[in-house]
């Protein structure tokens, strides 16, 4: 069942409806506490010192239950309220401060907090943040507004947050990232299912239990599609290689790489399975092609105008799915309907330029933070431009603006970043749960574009293209998480190679 992202008011209403069925708060607290403990155990080793800080409300109750399930850890659980309890917490910090193998469980305040912390509470939060000990927040970091993602004075800076029952909308906003850390959802804590209509959902691995679709026993390479990866220009041949390797890991029947003549040799030398050829003016969506990926490593300044002309034609006329990434996003026509499914994969700076910001080529600002103008949508309405910073501040508005710009097109938008957004007109927005800062390196987006195109080339995946897009984004992040868990310094090449592994 989809996991909606909710407001505090919606969460409170769900709790009230749960209690009305006879489910007790105590039973939910027990399950919530166990969920917190499971995460705390994953974050620590046997014998690690753990400080559990429990406040006066139900958030503190959850933390106390968690403390009882931290087997094999050296647990100190404090129910804070009087001054001696604060002194005990300070003593623990004095003993274990600076130890990265220790853990603090923040159960001080939850979603009910509506005023800034003060007095000993604010002082304790400040000391927690200075301690150098990782913090696991229960439901929401203490001091953070769960609706707006904004701090209410002093706020706990968590390494990880386990939010309970449902993801609160403030936790996924950009301004909250500094405090939330990695966000996990413990949904199964005994509350009745959410029945509030929603247009925003949290992607979880359970969404894909029926995927990948079964490959027919009598299938052959012609059964599973042929993806054309149009990528690479002089100085940027590596992007073409990474996109092709990403496409291979989704296992289409065939992969062809169409590249610029001057980088044909290095691209061809780096690849074995794909067919590689320099572009000689033929249609990218030629006979037998079932999906096209355009953009990785296509440096505008290195290519003739004919590349842009073909991009515009393919965008408008190709019957097969077309995935557009990187520099090619700047080549898209702003008006006119398209013949088939389209997917765009901008990062925030690219999104800003697409929404009217003056990016590279106008101001020289590659982040898209230059002043933005208004742009017309396909039906003549006006969309206000955004800067890169504004995209980060209101990613949902940027998503809406991109969908508006190509209204009337069968378009899916993948707005990359922390908790990548995936959305389509009339389909709502899905917030991705996987991934980590290790993805912030050149080439990872090329892998995603190729992998996504390889999925959409296959008839089995194309039956539900929205699921294919969401799955590609989720798996891309989940593989990055698996690589990060090894503790090794992994690269985009490692990511491309690992995309085929079991997650």
Backbone angles phi, psi at 60, to 5 degrees: -65, -35
Spatial separation of the C-alpha atoms in residues 133 and 138, rounded to whole Å: 16
Structure tokens that stand for 275 in this block: 């067919």
Q: Is residue 459 classed as helix, strand or coil in its secondary structure?
A: helix
Backbone angles phi, psi at 202, to 5 degrees: -100, 120
- Write down the residue that tokens 């690849």 correspond to: 271
Beta carbons within 10 angstroms of residue 86's beta carbon: 19
Q: pLDDT averaged over the chain?
A: 91
Indicate whether 358 pLDDT > 80.
no
134-138, 196-200, 232-236, 345-349: segment of lowest average pLDDT: 196-200
Indicate whether 482 pLDDT > 80.
yes
Residue ranges of domains in the chain: 3-202, 226-345+416-498
Of 336 and 148, the one with more pLDDT:
148
The CB-side HSE value for 352 (13 A sphere, CA atoms) comes to 25
- pLDDT tens for 291-315 read 999 999 998 777 889 999 999 999 9
Residues 344-349, mean pLDDT to the nearest whole number = 96
52-61, 296-305, 377-386, 422-431: segment of lowest average pLDDT: 377-386
Asked whether this chain's domains 3-202 and 226-345+416-498 adopt the same fold, the reply is no
Instruction: Bin 119: left if φ > 0, else alpha if -120 < ψ < 50, else beta.
Output: left
Spatial separation of the C-alpha atoms in residues 293 and 455, rounded to whole Å: 11
What b-and-e string marks burial along 133-160, b requiring 16 or more CB atoms within 10 Å of the CB?
Answer: bbbbbbbbbbbbbbbebebbebbbbbbb
Pick the CATH number of 3-202 from 3.30.70.3290, 3.40.50.10260, 3.40.50.620, 3.90.1150.10: 3.40.50.10260
pLDDT band of 122, cuts 50, 70, 90: very high
List the one residue out of 154, 190, 204 whose CA is nearest residue 65.
Answer: 190
Protein fold of 226-345+416-498: 3.40.1190
Query: What pLDDT is recorded for position 198?
Result: 81
Residue pair 463/487 in contact (Cβ under 8 Å)? The answer is no
DSSP 8-state secondary structure symbol assigned to residue 499: T
Structure tokens that stand for 71 in this block: 């087997």
- pLDDT tens for 203-257 read 999 999 988 888 888 888 888 999 999 999 999 999 999 999 999 999 999 999 9
Query: What pLDDT is recorded for position 356?
Result: 80
């Amino acid at each position: 069942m989809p996991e909606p992202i909710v407001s505090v008011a919606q969460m409170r209403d769900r709790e009230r409806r749960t209690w009305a069925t006879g489910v007790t708060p105590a039973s939910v607290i027990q399950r919530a506490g166990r969920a917190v403990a499971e995460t705390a155990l994953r974050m620590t080793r046997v014998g690690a010192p753990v400080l559990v800080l429990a406040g006066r409300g139900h958030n503190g109750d959850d933390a106390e239950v968690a403390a009882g399930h931290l087997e094999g850890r050296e647990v100190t659980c404090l129910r804070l309220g009087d001054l001696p309890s604060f002194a005990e917490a300070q003593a623990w910090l004095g003993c274990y401060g600076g130890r990265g193998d220790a853990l603090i469980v923040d159960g001080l305040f939850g979603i009910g907090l509506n005023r800034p912390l003060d007095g000993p509470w604010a002082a304790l939060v400040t000391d927690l943040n200075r301690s150098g000990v990782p913090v696991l927040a229960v439901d929401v970091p203490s001091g953070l507004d769960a609706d707006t993602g904004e701090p209410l004075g002093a706020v706990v800076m968590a390494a990880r947050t386990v939010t309970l029952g449902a993801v609160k909308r403030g936790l996924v906003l950009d301004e909250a990232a500094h405090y939330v850390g990695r966000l996990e959802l413990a949904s199964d804590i005994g509350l009745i299912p959410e029945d509030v209509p929603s247009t925003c959902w949290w992607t979880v691995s359970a969404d894909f239990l029926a995927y990948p679709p079964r490959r027919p026993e009598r299938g052959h390479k012609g059964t599973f599609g042929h993806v054309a990866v149009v990528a690479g220009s002089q100085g940027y041949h590596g992007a073409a290689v990474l996109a092709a390797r990403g496409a291979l890991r989704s296992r289409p029947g065939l992969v062809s790489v169409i590249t610029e003549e001057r980088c044909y040799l290095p691209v061809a030398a780096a690849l074995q399975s794909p067919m590689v050829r320099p572009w000689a003016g033929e249609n990218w969506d030629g006979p037998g092609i079932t999906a096209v990926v355009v953009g990785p490593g296509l440096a505008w300044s290195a290519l003739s105008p004919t590349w842009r002309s073909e991009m515009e034609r393919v965008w408008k006329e190709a019957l097969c799915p077309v995935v557009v990434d990187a520099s090619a996003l700047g080549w898209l026509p702003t008006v006119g309907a398209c013949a088939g499914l389209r997917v765009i994969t901008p990062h925030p700076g690219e999104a800003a330029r697409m929404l009217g910001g003056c990016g590279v080529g106008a101001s020289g600002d590659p982040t898209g933070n230059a002043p933005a103008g208004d742009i017309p949508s396909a039906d003549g309405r006006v969309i206000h431009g955004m800067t890169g910073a504004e995209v980060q501040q209101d990613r949902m508005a940027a998503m809406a603006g991109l969908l508006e710009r190509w209204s009337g097109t069968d378009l899916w938008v993948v707005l990359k970043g922390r908790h990548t957004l995936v959305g389509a007109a009339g389909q709502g927005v899905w917030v991705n749960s996987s991934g980590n800062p290790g993805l912030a390196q050149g080439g990872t987006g090329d892998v995603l574009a190729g992998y996504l195109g390889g999925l959409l080339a296959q008839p089995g995946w194309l039956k539900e293209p929205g699921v294919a897009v969401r799955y590609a984004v989720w798996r891309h992040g989940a593989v990055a998480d698996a690589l990060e868990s090894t503790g090794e310094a992994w690269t985009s090449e490692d990511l491309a190679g690992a995309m085929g592994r079991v997650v």
